[in-house]
Homo-oligomer: A and B are copies of this chain.
């Protein structure tokens, strides 16, 4: 407990030291290239991979990246995919960040959607929503001399506005750093990275060609950058603790914990797990909080998603005497279109930088420091809390007469016969992300899905990032939330054929890096002949929801493995075919290959929860009836 406070204080002190350093004349004895300064900072934060594409304005910096022994250059097929990969990397490598490098204009702008998907902003201090992923977008830019004289370069808009792209990115990033001279370079770099990791949001940093090899003092690198927020305000925190104790008393310890994504984004996974286990409280997750708490934990009750929850889950959460919501992100898909049933008066919300108790907002009291202090004050409720019933969360495979692989049959099979301890699971927005909500995961799994932003195609690029982060995480022996090292696991992607077509080429990068993997990467390609999620929302029989059919079985061969040396492709059109595959080669594994399993499904079939959500969305969009 004292540990958290100490860490927060240390990070505050370091930030003050950096400020002092910025104010001093730069007289360091040891010098370093600006380009290498950036790389050193990233190394310190555990970055082992950088994503992106080469382009005229980033080639000089790429020399340094390629020569760096600790950061691998992962060249992608296109920039959107590289942003998705950096995002996936950041999600799995929880206390680090994702980095992509693009070139000015044509490169950076292709990544726009991927960066926007990492963003999150506050409208009201009491509300926090969205993906919130720390991704640093480095952009190689024209030299500062060119920017000053403004000739009509290619990749510019031809009007001399060198800052147009930065202005566009301002809309979707938390910070825009521009290295314009060597005196302020270290400050700008540190600030960009710090904003990115503290706020768990994307930052944008421009690196002009002529700045890459400029020398600056290296001394400042001895002061580390930290993702921790400022220490809590002691007086406010004391009041918050008293209020929470009072609320627990009023609820007589009958409290339910609801865990959401920000618990992970703000490095509080360990604290929240310690607290929940010490107290024995019933605990549920939102869709975006899935796997923050081990889903095999005895006191875990499953996924709560407002009115779209399974009935008994809904009943337990909505009717709780008090709900402790940790790291909440209240977006439409994450809340069953805003249908939370518990009143605000019976809710406590813990956030990274504030706490809300009923309607009262307490600024500058963040959960990472707060939670460990709650345990000793609330521990006397543990006997009561541990007796509170938690419905058994399970999903059984339905008996079906046909051999067709239905959605109702497939998702229980995923939980029962596919996923294993240690796996990293990525589900694409579509039938996969919705189907997955009903699947209890094995211990030590990591779940990745872009539920709020919901950009189809995301999962394919993200899977590459996840795969590399999982590889490095296992190699580094990172501990799980319960303290043991994360076991090495496979990366498993569930994606529909429609979504896959947006970003399919990135599978070739997976094949390229396959030789560094010990475990298989398995892609379940759910072939339902088009955009089934859209069919559920509108235009069920419309041609615009259909796509060109691909020969999925040959995809991995085309993308660079014509002899199937590093890949393997399967196809299952019936239940028996799939079960046979799962029991055989998929369970056994291929020793680190990229494996594609094409699963044939009906184009009009979807998980029930998707049908329910789609109905809510269609109503909101207020279209007229279709054909």
Contact = CB atoms under 8 A, between A and B. Distances in A.
A172 interface: yes
Interface in A580-627: 617, 620-624, 626-627
Contacts of A159: 120-123, 129-130
Interface stretch (A365-373, A384-392, A540-548): A540-548
A408 interface: no
A248 B24 CA distance: 65
A543 B78 contact: no
B548 A509 contact: yes
B171 A59 contact: no
A168 B554 CA distance: 39
A538 B62 CA distance: 10
A122 B467 CA distance: 46
Contacts of A152: 127, 129-130, 330-332, 338
**Residue among A62, A73, A127, A621 facing the most chain B CB atoms (10 A cut-off):** A621
Interface of A is mostly: loop
Interface in A377-409: none
Contact of A550 (B508, B549, B551): B508
Given A56-B538, A75-B546, 5 more contacts: A77-B502, A106-B456, A152-B338, A209-B621, A511-B548
Interface string A555-591: 1011111100000000000000000000000000000
Interface in A134-171: 142-143, 145-146, 150-155, 157-161, 164-165, 167-169, 171
Interface stretch (A110-118, A186-194, A297-305, A349-357): A110-118
A477 B75 CA distance: 46
Contact of A453 (B105, B160, B169, B511): B105
Contact of A60 (B168, B505, B546, B624): B624
A207 to B, nearest CB: 12
B172 A60 contact: no
Nearest to A451: B154
Nearest to A624: B213
Given A113-B110, A534-B54, A620 B551 contact: no
Contact of A106 (B123, B168, B455): B455
